[in-house]
A and B are shown apart, each in its own frame.
Chain A
């Protein structure tokens, strides 16, 4: 195990203030009025981190902002010759060192999945890369999983450290922070007091206890091909998704959903090209200018979402699912669609007919 420091509840605010001096710091917190949904927000002195409740949204926003500028463009008119208009472009990437404090294992793993899409090529997304390279993750040992969670079924687990630089281990009297990666070590400096043997022992016990938990059961084996066999089975998709409202909340809350749209906004002779979160649940997402839409119905779109996560993505990326089992889509769906049901059913009563 790496270096460990201990932060008592009284010292936590000081420790976070210290981190906030060096980083754009994101912590899970309730709304300023207290209560309401817990989500990752930018830390400001006085913010109380909420580490004992699941967050409604993942921290993906820290690396993939909901809206970001890709380019600025400007048309310049020549005063001597108003017909001659010059176009100029600027692509500036501003990033600050960022620390996400308290990401649960499902959310930390999600970044590694998005990395494959944005960084593996054939083209590298330079905006994502710049943010990702300057982002550190302090993962949280997760003791709050609920009945919607299924991280253990998709390659993770509540004490998984994949993707984290630091690990936060809640113990009875405070937090233990452990450096998991070499690049995590310097972050511990001055953060708390060295963890005593008894506190280290308590941290080990928490990790051991949580590691033994199995969160959720879902048989995902063979889902790549099972999905393809089900692709044209309209009855199946009606059964799992007829209720879908196409509201898109499942993609909005999902830590691994990364799809985006690109739009231009301009005023007078200048403007920006923006990238914003988009959702494959929306009719407009794949609507072509001709009026043709390859996925015109809600069933087509839901099927594509399941396919992307459990068939297309693993087919492309060594069997990894584009799902970390965080359960947010299950918890958030207004009509109680459960992706576990859609995946589990792929292999049921599958006939051999074409």
Chain B
């Protein structure tokens, strides 16, 4: 993003497109200015604004790990006008990027702890960055568990990486909403599977991302399991425009998701759950 004008995006080019699910695509981009690309750095959990000029701008998490210097990866679910157009982009097309924006996961303070990832649908995207970052220093963390759910097996993102995640020390609990021919993993909503698993809160950090309704029920579930508010991290999404804490719309109380977030611990937003 421009040093002088935070509203002015950098130009970037699509290098690779991966069809994740029927309505989710992953875009791998490079910044057109090679010097900017070389110097680009970010922390896991930070986001970027992608622009299709003439249509608009939307916010997505950078879901490649910071160690990946070849491209920036964003996963986009087709739900509105901007995402519709982002899905139409092909290799070689240009777009605008303002990144990195927002805060990040407290990776260092998670060291020495067990980590429980809980994701729903496209909510896996921000957790992917963190998961890959932790797996890169696997020995520094305790158990790493991932509970990941989607409507159907075809709605799970990054399926082609699951074996790798498992091999590198992730305990995977996959679930889909309904029975599906050939599906041998769990069936049921994420919050239900969480209570079935009932992980101990002892020395454990839960990292939650998914649709707001899932987040709300998972929070209740974690409270029942006696997780303390500080042990629960979530990364939130809101409608955003400026992305730099000015335009006003992404607030939760006095916090702006774009600059004070997207990563929050539950202690910070406890009073504001109805506003999620």
Contact = CB atoms under 8 A, between A and B. Distances in A.
Interface of A: 70-71, 73, 75, 85-87, 89, 91, 117-118, 122-127, 228, 231-232, 258-266, 271, 273, 278, 280, 285-290, 292, 294-295, 300, 304, 307-308, 311-313, 315-316
A73 B57 CA distance: 13
A308 B249 CA distance: 11
A265 B252 CA distance: 30
B96 A89 contact: yes
A292 B245 contact: no
Contacts of A311: 253-254
B5 interface: yes
Contact of B8 (A89, A260, A286, A313): A89
13 contacts: A85-B94, A89-B11, A122-B244, A122-B259, A126-B6, A260-B246, A264-B53, A278-B248, A285-B239, A288-B237, A288-B238, A289-B80, A290-B211
Interface string B1-17: 01011111101000000
Given A273-B57, A312-B251, 13 more contacts: A87-B96, A89-B11, A122-B245, A124-B6, A260-B241, A260-B247, A262-B241, A264-B53, A264-B55, A264-B57, A266-B53, A271-B53, A290-B79
A280 B248 contact: yes
B275 interface: yes
B6 A87 contact: no
Contacts of B249: 259, 261, 278, 280, 285-286
Contacts of B212: 292, 294
A316 B275 CA distance: 18
Contacts of B274: 231-232, 300
Contacts of A288: 237-239
B46 interface: no
Contacts of B6: 123-126
A292 B211 contact: yes
Given A89-B9, A286-B239, A266 B248 contact: no
A117 B237 CA distance: 21
Contact of B53 (A87, A91, A122, A231): A87
Contacts of A122: 244-245, 259
B242 interface: yes
A309 to B, nearest CB: 12
A87 B56 CA distance: 15
A294 B275 contact: yes
Contact of A262 (B80, B242, B245): B242
Given A91-B7, A118-B246, A289 B79 contact: yes
B54 A228 contact: no
Interface string B237-276: 1110110111111111110000100000000000110111
A353 to B, nearest CB: 14
A125 B8 CA distance: 11
A307 B246 contact: no
A311 B4 CA distance: 32
A273 B246 contact: no
Contacts of B244: 122-123, 125
Label chain B's interface by main secondary structure: loop
A303 to B, nearest CB: 9
Contact of A312 (B57, B254, B276): B254
A228 B82 CA distance: 35
Contact of A263 (B11, B56, B237): B56
A85 B89 CA distance: 13
B83 interface: yes
A312 B83 contact: no
Interface in B227-243: 237-239, 241-242
B58 interface: yes
A70 B248 contact: no
Given A122-B245, A288-B239, A308 B53 contact: no
Given A259-B247, A280-B249, A264 B54 contact: yes
Contacts of A123: 6, 244-246, 259
A350 to B, nearest CB: 15
Given A264-B55, A286-B238, A289-B79, A316 B94 contact: no
Nearest to B6: A123
A289 B83 contact: yes
Across chains A and B, which 10 residue pairs bring their CB atoms closest together, nearest first? A289-B80, A259-B248, A266-B54, A312-B254, A123-B244, A73-B53, A289-B79, A87-B94, A315-B254, A123-B6
Nearest to A295: B275
Contacts of A313: 254
A263 B241 CA distance: 9
B271 A228 contact: yes
A297 to B, nearest CB: 11
Given A228-B271, A264-B54, A264-B56, A294 B247 contact: no
Nearest to A285: B249
Contacts of A127: 7
Contacts of A287: 239
Nearest to B244: A123
B247 A261 contact: yes
Nearest to B276: A294
Given A89-B11, A295-B275, A311-B254, A289 B5 contact: no
Contacts of A273: 7, 53, 57
